[in-house]
Every structure is written in structure tokens, then in C-alpha cells.
Amino acid sequence: MIPLAEPQLGGNEARYLAECIRTGMVSSVGPYVERFEREFAAAVGVRHAVACASGTAALHVALRLAGARAGRTVAVSTFTFIASANAVHYTGATPLLVDSEPRTWNLDAELLHDEVVRRARLGRPLPDVVEVVHALGHPADVAPLLELRDRFGVRLVEDAAEALGAAYTGGPMDGRQVGTLGDLGCFSFNGNKTITTGGGGMIVTDEADLARRARHLTTQAKLPGSGYTHDTVGYNYRLTNLAAAVGVAQLEQLPRFLAAKRALAARYEQMLRAVPVVPAPREPWASPSHWLYSILLPGPEPDRDGVIGALRAAGIGVRPLWLPVHRQAPYAAAARLGGSVAEQLHRRGLSLPSSTGLSTADQGRTVSALAAALRDPAAALPTTRLRT
Ligand SMILES: *Cc1c(COP(=O)(O)O)cnc(C)c1O
């Protein structure tokens, strides 16, 4: 089976882990946690980084620090992994689910911008926070969102869980990486993400006070000193030294991982020229990290499950793009903005094998199987039925 995305742990991971075990430094206080935070901040180009137990935990704390709480509204992408919306729910805030735009598949920032301006003109309540997701490794268009922050004080939190290393090119944001433009940015180190710590996340920010409060909230809001005194309800959200040791080793390999993902995307683009699919977005102002290389099948209602079944039967690990958050049971009644772009992405989209170690031969096999399945999905479907 060609896996969808498989971690590579061939660097210093085992050596650093062995050191943690030898020294007994396994818990959330330890030199690798500090080192991971320092080196991660330098790698993405921000002043401060706070390691967390997961990407979801990072988002929860970042949203709370941006002001999300009961009675407030957070505008969030509907085309995303459910964790982006769950983090809003944990804070008690009300989500406003925003549709995608077709160029990058990310939150339609122009649409949200115009809606906020319209509400302001009518004297109606505005969203308090925007949580923008950089889906699948392509940067979202954040310029209209930064304008909302400047004009109306709408805070910006970036869910960059899937987009470590993605950046903007040209213009005033040239060279800036995703996660560094909002008030706070969040990353994930889950097993299938660009780098992994087994499980983990990071909050980044340029504001020292936000970083200090993030660290405080992730450590049970315990005040310094010998007594167990806490000034608010915090969380046990810190990353362990064991996990951070793996993170430091993974970070050493990040440039190589990103180069591999970008080479893989370039090869897919080349190989897919003869196949009638829409390739992954790549805007001229963006340098995507291509976390999972994804495509759209042709036509408004393609037999996506047939194609996925055929590819899986051929031993190729693929998966559909997400069912949008507004179609998920817990959020079916949530307020929405926009149309059906996210739904179309789900109906037509799938992610192809994207491991950093994927061989050119396996990529070729993937594209051939995809082309064959598009010619006749039913023919290759005798044994497997897609479970969704
Ligand atoms: C993976 C992911 C998260 C959650 O990260 P975990 O580390 O799994 O908690 C949040 N948002 C998006 C878009 C993700 O892909």
C-alpha cells in the first residue's frame, strides 16, 4: 500500500529520546521544550513560540487569548478539519462558518471583509475574531483580514496546522510565513503533519505579553512561587520533553521535508497534465508547502467514491477532502456566510499520496491508476467498497 502521508523519523529522534530517558527529563519541564520553542520561532520567523499538547489545544488557547468567549463570535473557515471549529466551541464563542473561494480553496476573505463592512455600516454586531485556516499547505489571502483588524479591531488567529513552511511571495508580505501575520498563529505536530512529535502543537506570536499568557494558560494558570495558587481556569496543555525531543530532531529536517513536498507537487503537476483533473491551487503570490497534494475531479458531480475505491483497490492511499463543518452534526445549525464552494471541494476533491519519502515510481503508479479510474471507475471496483 502506498500511504497517504507517512512520517520520516530517521534523524536524531532516537538519540534525543534516549537522552531524555537517561536523564529522567521526560515531563513538560525540560531542555528540549525550551529548545524546540526557540528553534521553532526562529524557523517560522516570529519572536515567541509556546509548545502545546496538540494543535487543537494551541487553537483553544490562542482563540481565548484573542478574546473568544461566550457571547462573542468567531468567523472560521467551513472547509477545514473539524478541530478548527471545535476550538471555537471550547471557548464558548459562537462560530460563523465562512465558505471558501475557488482560487485557494481557503476562507473567502473578500466576502467576509465586505460582510463586516456592511454590518458596521448598519450598526450591527461584528465578529470579534477571525480564525483563518491555511488548508492543505496553501496560504490563505489574509490581506482583507488584516484590514479588518486595522479598521474594526477584529483579531486574527491563523490555523496553520497544515501549512508549516508555506509563505507569501512578492508585495509587502514577501517572505513572510503563514502563522506570523495574525495576532497569534497555531501549528500541529500530529503524526501526519509536515513535522511530527507524535502529537503536539505550537502557538506563535510577536507579542511578549500574549506569549506569557499562553504559557500561563497551558500550565494550569499556576502563579509563580511555591504555593499552588491559580488566578484563572487554565489547562494541562504543555508538551512533554519527550515529544519536544522528537520535535527538535524533526525541525532539523524541515528544510529537506519542505523541498521534498515541493518537488513532489511539481512532479504531480507535470504528470497530471494529461489527466482531466484540476491540479492543487498555486497562486502567484504564494509559496505553498503542499502538505497533502490534492486535486479536483472533473465535472460538478463526479463519481468521487468510485475513483477513491478504485485507487484503494490498486493499493494507493487517497482520501476525500473534508465534509465542510456546516455539514457536520454538531454545527448543522451554525450561522453561515457564503455559498457552496466548500461543498463542491468535498464532492470533487481528493488528496493523493504525499509522504516526503514517496518515490517517483510510486507517484507514477498513482497517476496511472487515477487516469485509469477516471476512464472507468466501476471496472476497478470489484473487491473494495468505500466506507465513509
Ligand atoms: C491537524 C489539524 C488541527 C488539529 O491539530 P491536532 O494536533 O491534531 O490537535 C487543527 N486544524 C487543522 C486545519 C488541522 O489539519
Residue nearest to atom 6 of ligand 1 (CA): 55
Q: Quick one: pLDDT at residue 28?
A: 81
Q: Quick one: pLDDT at residue 384?
A: 45
Q: Quick one: pLDDT at residue 379?
A: 52
Cell readout for 133 is: 485556516
Q: How confident is the model at residue 108 (pLDDT cuts 50, 70, 90)?
A: very high
What is the C-alpha separation between 236 and 275, in angstroms, rounded? 49
Tell me the backbone φ, ψ of residue 187, rounded to 5 degrees. -130, 160
Q: Quick one: pLDDT at residue 226?
A: 76
Q: Quick one: pLDDT at residue 385?
A: 46
Q: Quick one: pLDDT at residue 35?
A: 98
Tell me, in angstroms, the distance from the centre of ligand 1 to residue 159's CA: 8
Atom of ligand 1 nearest to the CA of 83: 10
Contact by Cβ (8 Å): 114, 91: no
Q: Quick one: pLDDT at residue 377?
A: 61
Q: Is 205 in the pocket of ligand 1 (CB under 6 A)?
A: no
How large is the average pLDDT for residues 199-226?
A: 95
* Core vs surface per residue 281-315: b (16+ CB within 10 A) or e: beeeebbbbbbbbbbbbeeeebbbbbbbbbbbbbe
pLDDT digits (tens, 9 = 90+) for 343-353: 999 999 999 99
Q: Quick one: pLDDT at residue 225?
A: 85
- The sign of the dihedral angle between the CA atoms of 161, 166, 170, 175 is positive
Tell me, in angstroms, the distance from the centre of ligand 1 to residue 81's CA: 7
Tell me, in angstroms, the distance from the centre of ligand 1 to residue 196's CA: 12
Q: Is 79 in the pocket of ligand 1 (CB under 6 A)?
A: no
Q: Is 84 in the pocket of ligand 1 (CB under 6 A)?
A: yes
Residue 91 has pLDDT above 70, yes or no: yes
Nearest 10 degrees: Cα torsion 86, 88, 94, 97: -70
pLDDT digits (tens, 9 = 90+) for 23-58: 999 988 889 999 999 999 999 999 999 999 999 999
> For the purposes of burial, counting CB atoms within 10 Å of the CB of 221, is it exposed (0-12), middle (13-18) or buried (19 or more)?
middle
Kind plus residue range of the DSSP H or E element containing 91: helix 83-91
Q: Quick one: pLDDT at residue 325?
A: 98
What is the C-alpha separation between 132 and 323, in angstroms, rounded? 17
What is the C-alpha separation between 248 and 315, in angstroms, rounded? 33
Q: Is 162 in the pocket of ligand 1 (CB under 6 A)?
A: yes
Residue nearest to atom 14 of ligand 1 (CA): 161
- Residue to probe by mutation, ligand 1, list 4, 74, 76, 81, most atoms within 8 Å of CB: 81
- Residue to probe by mutation, ligand 1, list 136, 162, 328, most atoms within 8 Å of CB: 162
pTM of the predicted structure, to 2 decimals: 0.96
pLDDT digits (tens, 9 = 90+) for 137-189: 999 999 999 999 999 999 999 999 999 999 999 989 999 999 999 999 999 99
Residue 265 has pLDDT above 60, yes or no: yes
- Could you tell me how many residues make up the chain? 388
Residue nearest to atom 5 of ligand 1 (CA): 55
Residue 382 has pLDDT above 60, yes or no: no
DSSP strands (E only) in 189-315: 201-205, 286-287, 294-296
Angle made by CA atoms 304, 269, 283, in degrees to the nearest 5: 95
- Residue to probe by mutation, ligand 1, list 184, 187, 190, 354, most atoms within 8 Å of CB: 190
Atom of ligand 1 nearest to the CA of 188: 7
Closest CA to 136 of 358, 368, 342, 377: 342
Alpha carbon 164 to chain centroid distance?
Answer: 8
Residue nearest to atom 2 of ligand 1 (CA): 161
Query: What is the percent of the chain with per-residue pLDDT over 90, rounded to a whole number?
Result: 93
Closest CA to 54 of 173, 214, 198, 254: 198
Q: Quick one: pLDDT at residue 227?
A: 83
Residue 383 has pLDDT above 50, yes or no: no
Tell me, in angstroms, the distance from the centre of ligand 1 to residue 190's CA: 7
Strands 201-205 and 184-188: antiparallel
Contacts of 217 (CB under 8 A, 6+ apart): 61, 64, 65, 232, 234, 235, 237
